[in-house]
Homo-oligomer: A and B are copies of this chain.
Amino acid sequence: MHMEKETARIEAFSDGVFAIAITLLILEIKVPVSGTPDLASQLARQWPSYVAFVISFFFIGIMWINHHRLFTHIKRADNTVLVLNLVLLLGVTSVPFPTAVLAQHLGGNGERIAMILYNGTYLVIAIFFNVLWRYSVSKKHHLFGKDFDEAAVQRISAQYALGPMVYLLCLVLAWFSVTASLLMNIALAIYFLLPPAHATKFGKNPQ
């Protein structure tokens, strides 16, 4: 009972960080100043900002769903969970920066570097997710509820292990073609949002 309240506090704090990071993204989109001769084409020229915004929005949203799912299993939090979660949130709060860099440089000279920074950030976050989850699983008799679902835990482990790989693939792809990497990012966001297996089922048994 007391323990549950404790992870509730961690979740509430984390939820706050996710909600703020996802909402701050919009501040990085430049507002064309008053007096811009052709506003419509100026707004259209800023398409990289919108693309970067939408992808980051859904990536953070998906991370929030995953974080949430993680803590449906983790019932107790020791100091290591607390610190690893903080490290994970460090990654999440940093997302607006590579997003803004990508928005500024997509289509320009620096687009390769910007794309690598962008996917590098998600790669690091995905690794942090795995570290937090692996640690929790390693102490599952201590940190999970009594009747945790071993099969569900295994499934999450397998799925989370994919995360760093797909972001690494996007990062490597950027080296050859920024466009290909960008399309792969968009495909990923759509894939993550589509229904089955790979997404959380809130209020259902996760089978």
Binding site for B on A (CB under 8 A): 2-3, 6-7, 9-13, 15-29, 31-40, 43, 53-54, 57-58, 61, 64-65, 68, 76-83, 86, 89-90, 93-97, 100-101, 104-105, 108-110, 113-114, 117, 193, 195-196, 199-204
Give the copy number.
Answer: 4
Chain B residues with CB under 8 Å of A110's CB are 32, 34, 36, 38-40
- In the complex the two chains form, is B77's CB within 8 Å of A203's CB? yes
Closest chain B residue to A21, Cβ basis = B23
Partner of A202, one of B16, B22, B77, B201: B77
What's the minimum C-beta distance from A73 to chain B, rounded to whole angstroms? 14
Complex interface: chain B residues within 8 A of A200 (CB): 79, 82
Q: Taking chain A's interface residues, is the majority helix, strand, or loop, or is none over half, making it mixed?
A: helix
Q: Is the CB of A105 within 8 A of B203?
A: no
CA A104 to CA B35, docked complex, whole Å: 8
The answer to whether A23 and B26 touch (CB under 8 A), given A9-B15, A86-B61, is no
